[in-house]
Every structure is written in structure tokens, then in C-alpha cells.
Structure 1
């Protein structure tokens, strides 16, 4: 049996891109600011639907993200979930900030998480360091491996993660994907290490559908 979750997935009425469903634009007021978002309304809409937030990258918006992930739009109909594409205004999630760029109170609460990062990503550097975008400095982050280890430690795992080399479905793109996993009767922590990947999508898998499969697996536990 499925459990119902809200996932984070790295409308005045508007007919956009969802087969057999309608995408709408709406907004919600938060601290005096109206935050805009796009969402799909499936034909069998009910309260008991899983909710996925699909966040765009720096300089993007909800419309652009919707256009880039048609597979999620299609899956929202066949898999019966609601997809929301917010219009962001600042960074929310990436590698963990280091101690010089961190003023939040750590809850030390385990979560199910899948991290995807290219080893040649200069925007969100795999090895950690300063995040530079359009000549702007957004502070320092720790490495992806340390971020992965942080979450696995909080989840209670010890020892090495299991490693699987995903099929190289596009041998011409110069990228391969190593999947590192901590799984069991605890929160699951997964890293997709894209060898040769930059600040882009890997071609060997549809990362959006792969993320949905991760969510779906968690829902069944």
C-alpha cells in the first residue's frame, strides 16, 4: 500500500504541456510576498495525492522547468501525483554549506535523500569550495562526498556504501554514473556520481523519472 508524501525534487489558468490534465498558475502569500507556482490538476484529483515540488535552477522559472521535464508531466497523469513548479527567488538546496556559510540550526534528523552531481560541475563544485555564478559568489560548500556522508551518518549507517555502475546508455556523451547507496530499515541515502558530468543532466538516465522511481520506492516502504 502506498503512503502519501510531499516530495522535493536539486496559475491564472494556463494550458501547458500536461497530457490529459490541466496546468494552472496560482500563488500563496508568505510573509507579505505572493509566491507564484504552476501545478497540474489531474482528472482524478483528490486529497490523497502525492505532491512533488520540481525546483528550477539559478536564473530559471517555473515555466522553463515545466518545459524541460515533459516526462514528469506525463508521469503525473499515469502515476496519479501532483507536480508543482514554483518560481524561486533564492537558493534552497545543493551541497551543504561549510561552517563559514551556515547560520541554520542543524536538526540532525534523518531523511530519505538522493543526490546527483557531476564531477566537473563548476557551479555546484563536486569537491566543494566556492559557488560562483555569473561573477557572483554564493559562499562555500562542502564536497558532495561529505554531504552524502553527512546524511548517511545521521541516518545511522556505518561502513562503506554499496556501489553500482549504471548502464552507459549514451557512450558518446563522455559520462558514466556511479550509484552509491545506503539502504535498509532506515532512511535511504543515495548518491548518483556523474563521472565527467558538468552542471547539466546526465544522458544515461532520465534523472527526473529516476528521481520519481526513488520517491515511489520510498512510498512503498
Structure 2
């Protein structure tokens, strides 16, 4: 499993910020956990207007990802059919790009705080191949707007316009040919905060492609966790679920 950090971040920091929970789950379930480092602390995702160097220098992060897979096939004999990618913010955007342009390289993806770019801001080819996806977005995210619009990273709006969360979920449902209603439930309250809650929706097509959506009510630009804290500047954090546990459950479900 690969976990991709967000903008202006690093592999070391995201590993610490998630309290090494992914490492602990990796040891528990017997998989390899990888935290790649982006070029100058960013990834070259599909947002064509982005001003950071990974985009302006046109870094080939798809080739980088494929090279990492080849490395682990050679050094650790991993199964190419069991490669999972999760990411937050800019890292979530790269996960979308991998699903767009190289779906044969990944088994499933999970994203936090990331909506798909609007068509006018989309600088990626789209294979049209369905893939299992889990999406976690906060309704009060001031950076990645839940209802779509201009991404605003503390005054930097160069990342352009994104779709709404609903439109992002619907894109992956359409690819999978899913038209049925979701299995929906509000997850149990765990953090004692009345203003945060989690609504989960699940779908699956006849070929086993799954889409999961976690609407993080009252939450900001952060990953939900029962054990970590987040900077206030990023908004409220939901402690009703562990994002790490949920995506590991989702990924392991693809292996069955």
C-alpha cells in the first residue's frame, strides 16, 4: 500500500501525522507500507493550472509510481494484482490520476480531501476503466470545497476549480455502471462532538467494483482519526472513525 502526502508536505511528516497507524495495520495484516516523497513536496496531478514545480516542470509521477512497483516486485515479490494507493489532498489528486491514466497499475484507490478537477482544469487522459474507489471529504473543508469551486490554499488559488464531492462520487459510479441506490448509514458517535458525524454510502457492481463514500459532516481538510489531532487552521477533525482502519478494510475487501 502506498500513502501519498499532500501539498508542501513530506513522506516523513505524513507518516508521523497519522501516528504510524498505517504501519501498525501493515504489520497486523501482513502487507508492505510505502510513503513516497513528491518532487519539491508536491505531486504532478491532473489540475492543469497548478503552479507548483511538480506540475510546471511536468514531473512524470506515473512513471515514478510504475518504477516503485517494479522495484517491490523485484525486491519483495509483491503481487501486482494487490497494489493499493491512498492519498490526502494533492496526494489524493495523484491517486485519481493513477486511476485515470494507469488503472492497470492499481487495484483500488482511496482519497481524503480531494475532488476531481473540473473539465476545464483537467490535464489528464481518462481511460474510462472502472476501479474501486473510497472517498472521504469534509463538509466544512475550506481548501477543497465540498460543493465544488475554486481550491483556495490560504490565498493560493492556482490549483483551479474542482467538481463537487457528489459529482466526484458520481463519476466513479458511472464508470462502474452503478445506478442502484447506496447502502447508507450514519456511523456511531465516538468522539463526543455533537457537530461532527459520518455518513457512509456503499455501492458494488456485478463485477465486484466497489465505491465507498464517507461524508464527514462538520469536518475540514483533515483525515478522520480516533487517535491523532489536526492543526486548527485545517478545520475540525472527525474522531468518529479511523480513516486508516476504514481504508484498510476497503482495500482488504478487494483481496477477497
TM-score by length of 2: 0.63
Question: Within 1, Cα distance between the matches of 2:180 and 2:248?
Answer: 27
Counterparts of residues 1-221 of structure 1 (less than 5 Å)? 52-69=1-18, 70-88=20-38, 89-90=42-43, 91-92=90-91, 93=93, 94-137=114-157, 138-172=159-193, 174-186=195-207, 187-200=209-222, 201=224, 202-220=238-256
| Runs of 4+ residues deviating >4 angstroms | none
Superposition deviation, residue 65 in structure 1: 1.0
The answer to whether the 8 A contact 1:173-1:203 is kept is: no
Question: Within 2, Cα distance between the matches of 1:123 and 1:64?
Answer: 20
Superposition deviation, residue 122 in structure 1: 1.1
Aligned to 2:76: none
SS at the partner of 2:25? Answer: helix
Q: What is the root-mean-square deviation in Å for CA atoms of aligned residues?
A: 1.4
The answer to whether the 8 A contact 2:3-2:36 is kept is: yes
Which sections of structure 2, spanning at least 5 residues, go unmatched? 44-89, 94-113, 225-237
Question: Which is richer in strand?
Answer: 1
Question: Which is richer in helix?
Answer: 2
Of stretches 166-175 and 205-214 in structure 1, the one that deviates more from structure 2 is 166-175
The answer to whether the 8 A contact 2:196-2:216 is kept is: yes
The answer to whether the 8 A contact 2:182-2:202 is kept is: yes
Highest Rg: 1 or 2? 1
1:158–1:210 CA distance, 2 compared to 1 (3 A): same
Count of aligned positions: 169
Question: Within 2, Cα distance between the matches of 1:209 and 1:192?
Answer: 13
Question: Within 2, Cα distance between the matches of 1:72 and 1:209?
Answer: 8
Superposition deviation, residue 184 in structure 1: 4.2
Which sections of structure 1, spanning at least 5 residues, go unmatched? 1-51
Deviations 1:53-82 (A, max 9, x none): 111122210001111222211111121111
Question: Within 1, Cα distance between the matches of 2:194 and 2:10?
Answer: 27
The answer to whether the 8 A contact 2:177-2:205 is kept is: no
Question: Within 2, Cα distance between the matches of 1:98 and 1:185?
Answer: 29
